[in-house]
């Protein structure tokens, strides 16, 4: 992993978005598989609630201003 961003809407601090950058799609897929294993255990992830959603995406363009 190269970059981590944790964000939430200003009107809902209980909803978070985590943006992780990986060197490869294979690394991202392996990390997601590990997360899904953890998420299945209420003891390992007691704070999780609601409908967890994940997506692996690729950057089309990136700029900094």
Q: Is 50 left (phi over 0), alpha (psi -120 to 50) or beta?
A: left
And the tokens for 44? 């390992």
Residues 31 and 23 sit within 8 Å (Cβ to Cβ): no
d(CA 34, CA 45): 12
Instruction: Read off the pLDDT of residues 6-63 as tens digits, 9 standing for 90 and up.
Output: 999 999 888 888 899 999 999 999 999 998 888 887 776 666 766 777 888 888 888 8
Instruction: Provide the whole-model pTM.
Output: 0.68
And the tokens for 50? 């609601």
Note down the domain range covering 32: 1-65
d(CA 59, CA 54): 16
And the tokens for 36? 């899904």
Considering its fold, how many domains does the chain have in total? Answer: 1
């Amino acid at each position: 992993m190269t970059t981590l961003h944790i964000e939430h809407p200003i009107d809902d601090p209980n909803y978070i978005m985590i943006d992780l950058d990986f060197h490869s799609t294979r690394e991202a897929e392996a990390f997601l598989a590990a997360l899904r294993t953890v998420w299945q255990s209420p003891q390992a992830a007691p704070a999780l609630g609601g409908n967890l959603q994940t997506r692996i995406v690729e950057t089309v363009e990136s700029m900094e201003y």
